[in-house]
C-alpha cells in the first residue's frame, strides 16, 4: 500500500514538473473530424458558470487562446457517478461541468464522447478526442502514453463488501474473488492480490461489479471512493470499508506532446481553482458531510 501511494504521488509530481516546462509543441488537434458515436453538446449549465468566471478574469483568458469557435472533444466513460453518468439522455457530472467551464474559457464548444474507459487513452493518441476527463488517476504507466494536466481533485480506492461480509480490511482480500472496472487503478491495485491467490473479475462498468457482488458472484469490489458512495447509497445491504487503499489524483489527459492544448487547459484550470468555480462544481455533486 505504501508503495502505491508513493508511486502515485511521484507520478503526480512528475505531472507538475512536466506542466511547468511547456516546450511549445504545435501539435494541436482538430476536433472537426471526430466521428463520435455518442455525442452530446455542452449543456446550458456551462453558459451560466462561464459568464460569471469570465467577468472576473476577463480578457487575458481568451487573448492567450487560439481555440476560438472550435469544438473541444472530451472522451469519457459515463459510468462513474458523480464524475460522469447518464441522466436521462444527458451525460452529466463533475467532469462534464469542469470540461464545459474549461471549453468556455477557451472559447470552444464542448462535445462529450462516451466510450469504454480503456479506450480513452487510444482515442487521445489517435487524435479523435482532445481531452480525456474521466476521473482519471495520474500514474506512471499512463504518463508513458499521454500527458496530464495539473490535478483537479484527490481520490482514493475503497473496498465495497456486503454488510455481513467477513472481509474487514485490505488484508482479507487475499484469496478472494474481487470485482473491478476493467483498466482502472482499482484493477491495477486488486491485481496485486493475484499473487495471494485472489481472482479478479473485470467488468466494463463499475456498477456491474457491484451487481455481481450482490448476486454472490464475487466477494468484494475495489473502486474509487465517490462512485462507491453513490453505488452504496443506491443499493441495499452493501457497505464501504473504512480503510482506503490508495491516495490518487485525478487530472485531464491530453495527447502526448500537445503542449499547446496542455498549457491552455492548465491555464483555464488554474483560473477555475482561483475563482472557486472548481470547488463549487465539486460541492454541487459531493456533500461535505
Ligand atoms: N480513477 C480510476 C482510474 O483512473 C477509475 C476511473 C474510472 N472512470 C470512469 N469514468 N469510468 O483508473
Ligand 1 nearest-atom number relative to CA 95: 10
Which domains does the chain carry? Answer: 71-152+251-285 (3.40.190.10), 155-248 (3.40.190.10)
**What pLDDT is stored for residue 69 in this prediction?**
78
More confident residue, 19 or 184: 184
The phi-psi region of residue 216 (left if phi > 0; otherwise alpha if psi is between -120 and 50; otherwise beta) is left
- CB-count burial class (<10 Å; 0-12, 13-18, 19+) for 89: exposed
Among the residues of 30-168, which ranges form H helices? 44-63, 94-105, 120-125, 140-143
Spatial distance between the Cα atoms of 167 and 137, rounded to a whole number of angstroms: 26
Q: How far is the CA of 280 from the centre of ligand 1 (A)?
A: 22
Ligand 1 nearest-atom number relative to CA 78: 10
Spatial distance between the Cα atoms of 143 and 272, rounded to a whole number of angstroms: 24
Average pLDDT over residues 128-153: 98
Q: How far is the CA of 134 from the centre of ligand 1 (A)?
A: 6
DSSP secondary structure code for residue 133 in this structure: -
Q: Tell me the per-residue pLDDT of 20-69, one tens digit each, with 9 for 90 and over.
A: 333 333 333 333 333 334 444 444 444 433 333 333 333 333 334 456 67
**19 Cβ partners below 8 Å, 6+ apart?**
149, 150, 262, 263, 266
In this prediction the pTM is 0.79
Q: Single out the residue of 214, 240, 246, 216 nearest to residue 227, CA to CA.
A: 240
**What pLDDT is stored for residue 142 in this prediction?**
98
More confident residue, 70 or 40: 70
Strands of the sheet with 79-80, listed across from one edge: 79-80, 84-87, 90-92
Please give all residues whose beta carbon lies within 6 A of any atom in ligand 1, as ranges. Answer: 76-77, 79-80, 84, 117, 134-137, 181, 184-185, 224
Q: How far is the CA of 55 from the centre of ligand 1 (A)?
A: 33
Q: How far is the CA of 57 from the centre of ligand 1 (A)?
A: 32
Spatial distance between the Cα atoms of 97 and 99, rounded to a whole number of angstroms: 5
Instruction: Kindly report the average pLDDT of the chain as a whole number.
Output: 84
Ligand 1 nearest-atom number relative to CA 205: 11
Q: Tell me the per-residue pLDDT of 143-187, one tens digit each, with 9 for 90 and over.
A: 999 999 999 999 999 999 999 999 999 999 999 999 999 999 999
Q: How far is the CA of 187 from the centre of ligand 1 (A)?
A: 10
Which of 22-31, 77-86, 175-184, 232-241 is least confident?
22-31
The residue contributing the CA closest to ligand 1 atom 12 is 184
C-alpha cell at 285: 455533486
The CA–CA distances, whole Å, from 269 to 10, 93, 105, 122 equal 21, 17, 9, 24
Write out 139-205 in H/E/C secondary structure.
CHHHHCCEEECCCCEEECEEEEEECCCCCCCHHHHCCCEEEEECCCHHHHHHHHHHHHCCEEEEECC
Amino acid at each position: 500500500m505504501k508503495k502505491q501511494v508513493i508511486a502515485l504521488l511521484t507520478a503526480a509530481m512528475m505531472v507538475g514538473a512536466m506542466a511547468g516546462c511547456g516546450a511549445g509543441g504545435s501539435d494541436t488537434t482538430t476536433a472537426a473530424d471526430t466521428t463520435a458515436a455518442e455525442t452530446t453538446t455542452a449543456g446550458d449549465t456551462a453558459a451560466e458558470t462561464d459568464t460569471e468566471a469570465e467577468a472576473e478574469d476577463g480578457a487575458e483568458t481568451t487573448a492567450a487562446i487560439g481555440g476560438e469557435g472550435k469544438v473541444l472533444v472530451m472522451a469519457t466513460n459515463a459510468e462513474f457517478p458523480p464524475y460522469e453518468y447518464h441522466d436521462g439522455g444527458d451525460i452529466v457530472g463533475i467532469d462534464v461541468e469542469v470540461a464545459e467551464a474549461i471549453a468556455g474559457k477557451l472559447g470552444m464548444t464542448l462535445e462529450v464522447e462516451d466510450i469504454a474507459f480503456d479506450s480513452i487513452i487510444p482515442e487521445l493518441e489517435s487524435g479523435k478526442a482532445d481531452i480525456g476527463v474521466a476521473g482519471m488517476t495520474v500514474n506512471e504507466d499512463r504518463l508513458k502514453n499521454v500527458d496530464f494536466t495539473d490535478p483537479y481533485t484527490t481520490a482514493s480506492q475503497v473496498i465495497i463488501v456486503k454488510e455481513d461480509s467477513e472481509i474487514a480490511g485490505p488484508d482479507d482480500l487475499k484469496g478472494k474473488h474481487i470485482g473491478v472496472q476493467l483498466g482502472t487503478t482499482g484493477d491495477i491495485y486488486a491485481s496485486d492480490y493475484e499473487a495471494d491467490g485472489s481472482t479478479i473479475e473485470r467488468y466494463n462498468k463499475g456498477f456491474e461489479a457491484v451487481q455481481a457482488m450482490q448476486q454472490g458472484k464475487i466477494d468484494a469490489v475495489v473502486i474509487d471512493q465517490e462512485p462507491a458512495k453513490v453505488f452504496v447509497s443506491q443499493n441495499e445491504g452493501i457497505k464501504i470499508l473504512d480503510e482506503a487503499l490508495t491516495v490518487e489524483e485525478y487530472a485531464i489527459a491530453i495527447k502526448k506532446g500537445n503542449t499547446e492544448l496542455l498549457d491552455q487547459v492548465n491555464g483555464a484550470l488554474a483560473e477555475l481553482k482561483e475563482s472557486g468555480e472548481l470547488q463549487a462544481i465539486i460541492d454541487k455533486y459531493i456533500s461535505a458531510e
